[in-house]
Amino acid sequence: MPIVDTLASVKEAEKRGFESAWVVESSLAPAKDAISYLGAFAVSTDHIGLATGVINIFSRSATLIASSLATLDEMSKGRMILGIGTGHVAITPYHSVKFRDPLNRMREYVTVFRQLISGGSVKFQGKHLRVDGLKLGLQPFRQHIPVYIATVGERLARVAGEIADGVLFVLTSPPQVAELVKAVREGAEAAGRSSHDVDVACYLPTFMMKDGEKSMRGARQTVAGYGRSVFYRRLYRKMGYPKEAELLREAWIRGDMEQAIARVPERMARELVLVGSPDECVRRVEEYKRAGVELPVIQPFYVLGDLDSNVRPSIKAFGT
């Protein structure tokens, strides 16, 4: 989305009672920077929560993440949420880093981030991070900024249960959500925490255009696009779509987007995203809630230059 349309959407969501606005950033194919967009939102809105949804711990240092979030939290008067993820090995060519030990790296990042945000001097010696007497050169607005860890896998879900304020799932069916929530609870219990200490959020790509064929094509295109990645094809297999994952692999080897879209059956698209009338999409959100999602994050499909075809109807359907 161009910043003008994004800002208009966030302002409208704030008026309609939405709790928070989450800004996607891709480290797999570097594009627009989430921090810059959030700066614009921070000075243009009044009370809606603002979240990185998500930024990557391999492309930014823990110190930089703390500095950026502390600055944004001051600009927004205490409305920031940090959403972070590990990504996967495909990000390494873009950032000149090695993808190693992501779970323990995440633990160390969260520890250092929280210590820096608390405002004190940080001395930390870990396997991946070393900080020797560092203190942020600004006074954080709050001494605690909520941390959400993004994951589609059970191991990182357990880590989120151990250390995070929340967990964020992406492109996950309700049955898989239930499995991941179970892992979050196991992690929380192992760390001596209550499962209620960890908020469960989930991105829900949404397609409710009046033209049903366009909605379904957008849904299938989204599922196919994620299927370009080995990481997500593995997830599709786990969710019961091994044949489709293989067909997507073959289509993307040929670089054939149309064939990739054609390889996503309607049943698969309907299970992984919200598609249909406003009433149908609202009912699907209830299905995710029953699976354990406490914070549905509506992600409306955007048609370039056209907020009225899907974005505004989505905001209206889920607003108060």
Q: Can you read off the two tokens belonging to residue 138?
A: 């600004």
Distance CA 70, CA 145 (A): 8
pLDDT at residue 99 greater than cutoff 80: yes
- Enter the DSSP assignment of 306: B
Domain count, the chain: 1
Residue 195 lies in a domain: yes
pLDDT at residue 28 greater than cutoff 70: no
Residue 223 lies in a domain: no
Residue 239 lies in a domain: no
20: domain CATH number?
Answer: 3.20.20.30
DSSP string, 234-256: HHHHHTT-HHHHHHHHHHHHTT-
Grouping H, G, I as helix, E, B as strand and the rest as coil, residue 35 is helix
pLDDT at residue 75 greater than cutoff 70: yes
Q: Which residues contact 267 (CB under 8 A, 6 or more apart)?
A: none
Give pairs for 314-320: CB < 8 Å, separation 24+: 314/206, 314/208, 314/281, 315/9, 315/12, 315/13, 315/16, 315/18, 316/16, 316/278, 317/208, 317/278, 317/281, 317/282, 318/18, 318/282, 318/285, 319/13, 319/15, 319/16, 319/17, 319/18, 320/16, 320/17
Residue 267 lies in a domain: no
Residue 201 lies in a domain: yes
pLDDT at 320 (0 to 100): 85
Residue 59 lies in a domain: yes
Residue 81 lies in a domain: yes
User: CA angle at residue 211 from 206 to 213, to 5 degrees?
Assistant: 80
Mean pLDDT of the chain: 95
Beta strand pairing call for 130-134 and 122-125: antiparallel
pLDDT at 188 (0 to 100): 98
- Dump pLDDT digits (tens) for 232-279: 999 999 999 999 999 999 999 999 999 999 999 999 999 999 999 999
Whether the model clears a pTM of 0.85, i.e. scores above it, the answer is yes
Place of tokens 């249960």: 161
Residue 301 lies in a domain: yes
Task: Tell me the residue range of the domain where 81 lies.
Answer: 3-207+278-318
Place of tokens 């870990």: 126
Q: Which residues contact 121 (CB under 8 A, 6 or more apart)?
A: 133, 134, 135
Q: What's the rounded mean pLDDT across residues 65-70? A: 97
- What share of the chain has pLDDT > 70, as a percent? 99
